[in-house]
Structure 1
Amino acid sequence: MATLVTVAPLFLGGDTFPPIAYAVCMLMGVGFLVAGAGVLRGIAVQRRQARSATEPSAR
């Protein structure tokens, strides 16, 4: 939604935002990648915990 708000003036002929607004808009993709990496890491940790809980102990 924020990306649409940022680029809307370009298509609607309104006053454009300062260049820094477009730079920040480009960083949103990086944020999605970081969030996705966190989700995948959390899944891996949960799988490891579930696997260790179901394996019989070798002691």
Structure 2
Amino acid sequence: MTSETSRAGDLLVRIGAVVFVVGAVATLATITPLFLGSDPLPTAAYLVSMLMGVGFAVAGAGVLRSIAVQRRQAREAARR
């Protein structure tokens, strides 16, 4: 098992998690004024909250990449 390929998938998962957390914090920040009855935040804050989905997609791509590498390595081991 090569550590470089598994690291690449792990790195995507970590980056996706960070982006997801940033989007989740932005989502909480954008809905808080609605509950407090104050003025809503600017449109940019709503756009940043969309990072939640982007982070989820990046983390999912990392998981799929790790799965593909493990399947490839299992096939190579079965051939030997």
Tell me if both proteins adopt one fold, taking TM over 0.5 as the criterion.
yes
Q: Which structure has the bigger radius of gyration?
A: 1
Ranges in structure 2 where 5+ consecutive residues have no aligned partner = 1-23
> How far has the Cα of 1:11 moved from its partner?
2.3
1:5-55 CA distance string (max 9 Å, x none) = 321211221232221010111232122112211211111111111221232
Matched residues, number: 56
- Which residue type is aligned with residue 24 of structure 1? V
**Which consecutive segments of 4 or more residues in structure 1 shift more than 3 A?**
none
Q: Percent identity?
A: 68
Q: TM-score, normalised by structure 2?
A: 0.57
Q: Aligned residue for 1:11?
A: 35
Q: TM-score, normalised by structure 1?
A: 0.71
Report which structure shows greater RCO (CA 8 Å, sep ≥6).
2
Q: Aligned residue for 2:55?
A: 31
SS of alignment partner, residue 15 of structure 1 = coil
